[in-house]
Amino acid sequence: MKKLIFLFTFIISMLSFATTQKMDYSSYNLSGEIISGVRIIEVESFRYSYSPSIIVVNNGEKIRIKFSTGDTEHGFKISEINFDLKAKKGKPAEGDFIAPKSGIYEITCSVFCGSGHKKMTGRLVVR
């Protein structure tokens, strides 16, 4: 019986893993708003999540991230494009990048912020 429960749990977790990998973002709206040709997106962070956690942009657009934290210091890092912001409470950070080619890019926290640090992720969806 224990083996069966284990197998069942394993299958369910593999299924949910496969679903997140193939997540369809086509129904998501573009994030933020364009002001003077720059797509400005405000992102807030908390232990252990981002709001919004899914950011949707068009490739080639100039993007400005305004990043803040509601509790302790957090980072907003997109390794693939060498983009990294760090914000402390009351000290937001901002930075620009040009949206890379279409695809899904992982956002991770670049400041160790506690036990859930590694689970603190988001996604940049480039159309």
Between 79 and 102, CB nearer to Cu ion: 79
Is 117 a binding residue for Cu ion by CB under 5 A? The answer is yes
State yes or no: residue 85 binds Cu ion (CB under 5 A): no
By beta-carbon proximity to Cu ion, the closer residue of 109 and 124 is 109
Using CB under 5 A, pick the residue from 109, 124, 125, 126 that binds Cu ion.
Answer: 109
Binding mask 36-75 for Cu ion (x = CB under 5 A): ----------------------------------------
Among 113, 124, 125, 126, binds Cu ion (CB under 5 A): 113
Helix (H) or strand (E) holding 43: strand 38-46
DSSP of 53-93: SEEEE-TT-EEEEEEEESSS-EEEEEGGGTEEEEEBTTB-E
Closer residue to Cu ion in complex, CB, 44/61: 44
What distance lies between CA 63 and its chain's CA centroid? 14
